[in-house]
């Protein structure tokens, strides 16, 4: 792809993210996006024939950026785990409209739903490995298989749905307040199953949020 075409794609995607976050995915179509960019609708559909194609590009960028964050060096223990989630939450906030529209999109686009479920399986494996590591290193108390499953499910739901709850709580317009509020709730959840060593890590993390 030529640099000019790549630049145009970037311009469209960046403006779409901005408008989706401001107005909601359901209320921004090709017409609104083209008007904001001062181009004809065909200019948008040349690069993204359907709205789902544009949303798929956002999903891809979110996946790539999350992967880059996960590849960054991090501290060990619960402090490192929470700090990783801090970076992920701030990244998710940049794509908040995507998460808010995700249930509807999964229902409408079977191909994307299948792709998303495959990604979830991979994320589940990685997340479970991380939690088991925290247990073996003494940051979390030993858990039965059933309790580990409950912990994983709760953490996974929090990661997927915190932006929805932040919207309902009226916090979504303040990035730092929203992220810090739900990180504190995440830390509180982990504290219920943390060892004394783990609680020390949690206290250190929470001090840095203030």
Dihedral sign for Cα 185, 186, 191, 197, please. negative
Domain boundaries in the chain? 1-49, 51-209
State pLDDT tens for residues 121-157: 777 788 888 899 999 999 999 999 999 889 888 988 8
CA nearest to 18, candidates 58, 49, 45: 58
Partners of 140 in the β-ladder: 194
Q: Read off the pTM.
A: 0.87
CB 66 within 8 A of CB 91: yes
Is residue 21 within 8 A of residue 101, CB to CB? The reply is: no
210, 83 in Cβ contact below 8 A?
no
Determine if residue 2 is left, alpha or beta; phi over 0 gives left, psi from -120 to 50 gives alpha, anything else beta.
beta
Instruction: Report pLDDT for 111.
Output: 80
Q: What is the mean pLDDT of residues 195-206?
A: 97
pLDDT tens figures, 26-64: 899 999 999 999 999 998 999 999 888 898 888 888 888
Query: In whole angstroms, what is the distance from residue 118 CA to residue 123 CA?
Result: 9
Q: Which CATH architecture has domain 51-209?
A: Orthogonal Bundle (1.10)
DSSP 3-state assignment of 140?
A: strand
Which pLDDT belongs to residue 5? 62
Tell me the CA distances in angstroms from 68 to 31, 62, 83, 84, one per residue in order. Answer: 33, 10, 15, 11
Please give the angle made by the CA atoms of 128, 130 and 134, to the nearest 5 degrees. 115
- Name the nearest CA neighbour of 98 among 154, 41, 70, 60: 60
Give residue-wise pLDDT tens across range 73-122: 788 999 999 999 999 999 999 999 988 888 887 787 788 778 777 777 77
CB atoms within 10 A of CB 174: 12
Q: Other C-beta atoms within 10 Å of 78: how many?
A: 26
Q: Which fold has domain 1-49?
A: Arc Repressor Mutant, subunit A (1.10.10)
For residues 72 and 10, give the distance between their C-alpha atoms in angstroms, rounded to a whole number.
Answer: 25
């Amino acid at each position: 792809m030529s640099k000019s075409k790549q630049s145009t794609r970037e311009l469209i995607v960046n403006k779409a993210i901005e408008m989706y976050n401001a107005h909601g995915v359901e209320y921004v179509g090709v017409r609104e996006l083209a008007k904001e960019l001062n181009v004809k609708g065909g200019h948008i559909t040349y690069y993204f024939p359907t709205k789902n194609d544009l949303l798929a590009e956002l999903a891809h960028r979110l996946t790539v950026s999350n992967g880059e964050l996960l590849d960054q060096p991090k501290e060990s223990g619960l402090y490192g785990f929470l700090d990783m989630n801090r970076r992920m939450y701030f990244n998710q906030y940049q794509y908040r409209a995507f998460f808010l529209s995700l249930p509807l999109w999964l229902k409408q686009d079977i191909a994307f739903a299948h792709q998303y479920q495959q990604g979830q399986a991979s994320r589940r494996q990685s997340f479970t490995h991380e939690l088991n590591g925290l247990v073996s290193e003494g940051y979390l108390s030993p858990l039965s298989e059933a309790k580990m499953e409950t912990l994983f499910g709760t953490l996974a739901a929090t990661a997927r749905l915190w932006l929805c709850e932040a919207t309902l709580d009226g916090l979504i317009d303040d990035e730092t307040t929203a992220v810090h509020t739900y990180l504190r709730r995440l830390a509180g959840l982990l504290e219920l199953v943390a060892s004394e060593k783990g609680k020390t890590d949690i206290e250190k993390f929470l001090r840095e949020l203030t």
